[in-house]
Amino acid sequence: MGEQSLGDSKKTGKPAKKVAAKKVTATRKAVAGGKPPAVKKAVPVGKAEVKPAAQESRTALVRRARRINRELAAVYPYAHPELDFENPFQLLVATVLSAQTTDLRVNQTTPALFAKYPTPEDLAAANPDEVEEILRPCGFFRAKTRSVIGLSKALAEDFGGEVPGRLEDLVKLPGVGRKTAFVVLGNAFGRPGITVDTHFQRLVRRWQWTDETDPDKIEAAVGALFPKGEWTDLSHHVIWHGRRICHARKPACGACPIAPLCPAYGEGETDPEKANKLLKYEKGGFPGQRLKPPQAYLDAGGKPAAPLGAV
């Protein structure tokens, strides 16, 4: 997730958006009550005909995009940021470290980092050589060391050791761009933002939500399709789907629950049995990326990852 460089309204008589909102609320209540959320399973589509979206109107595009998000919310009701963190500072540092590596590797590395340098002031005064040694498993450890020490110094000197809750302040920090800032704002401060990582970029173009390639333009184009309050959860839904089912090289089309809504259906494996073998993380029966995932994820059958060096 790090910076790259680093329902039917006719039947109910109510607007579709309100129906979807009730659906999400019901899921959250179930989780709060200790009940595992009902996870929507993929329906084999076989050779189902999927209509292209090339000539759809703007209204049709908005409806299709929002329906895809509702469907993904049912598939991943426990979607969350896949970086372990306990406060905004930890999330900020972890997000910067996640550039060009997996969230799992970051999660396996940051416990040692935060145990030794728990605050911005601590990390700002750290010996770079010692930080580099801790961050070596993340790759690009020298550049990442400069970034995390630099942003820690800026936090200590300019923000009283606190992570700012404004976009314009966050992007001034070393190693922090809009994508990293929105991860922090959306997940540590509850302020909506769209996280345009490589998975998000790939999927929204496959779904023909936009043909833009610049991350800032993608953010603007997709943001215009959804209410602002949905932006953070939308990001989680799309990114989770990209990691688990809609892969870059071999998308598991035959195991995809939104195949009938996808203009790119057929780019990947359409045979349900073969497609199921391509599924990753909890969909494929393997642990997720967090060592300490949220309880809702565990309640849904998800498994925590192993620490760095574990057999």
Residues with catalytic function: 179, 197
Q: Which two tokens stand for residue 260?
A: 């009938």
Q: Angle formed by the axes of helices 178-188 and 215-223, to 10°?
A: 40
CB 211, CB 119: distance < 8 Å:
no
Provide the 8-state DSSP code for 260: G
- Give the separation between CA 209 and CA 140, rounded to whole angstroms: 33
Written as one letter, the residue type at 277 is K
Q: How many angstroms separate the CA atoms of 30 and 144, rounded?
A: 40
Using only C-alpha atoms, what is the Rg of the chain? 20
Of 239, 311, 250, residue with least CA distance to 279:
250
Q: Per-residue DSSP letters for 65-125?
A: HHHHHHHHHHH-TT---SS--SSHHHHHHHHHHTTTS-HHHHHHHHHHHHHH--SHHHHHT
Contact assessment for residue 103 and residue 82, using Cβ atoms and an 8 Å cutoff: yes
Distance, CA of 303 to CA of 291 (rounded, Å): 9
Residue type, position 202, single letter: R
Surface-to-core class of residue 289, CB atoms within 10 Å of its CB (0-12 exposed, 13-18 middle, 19+ buried): buried
H or E stretch at 151: helix 141-158
8 Å CB contact between 18 and 283: no
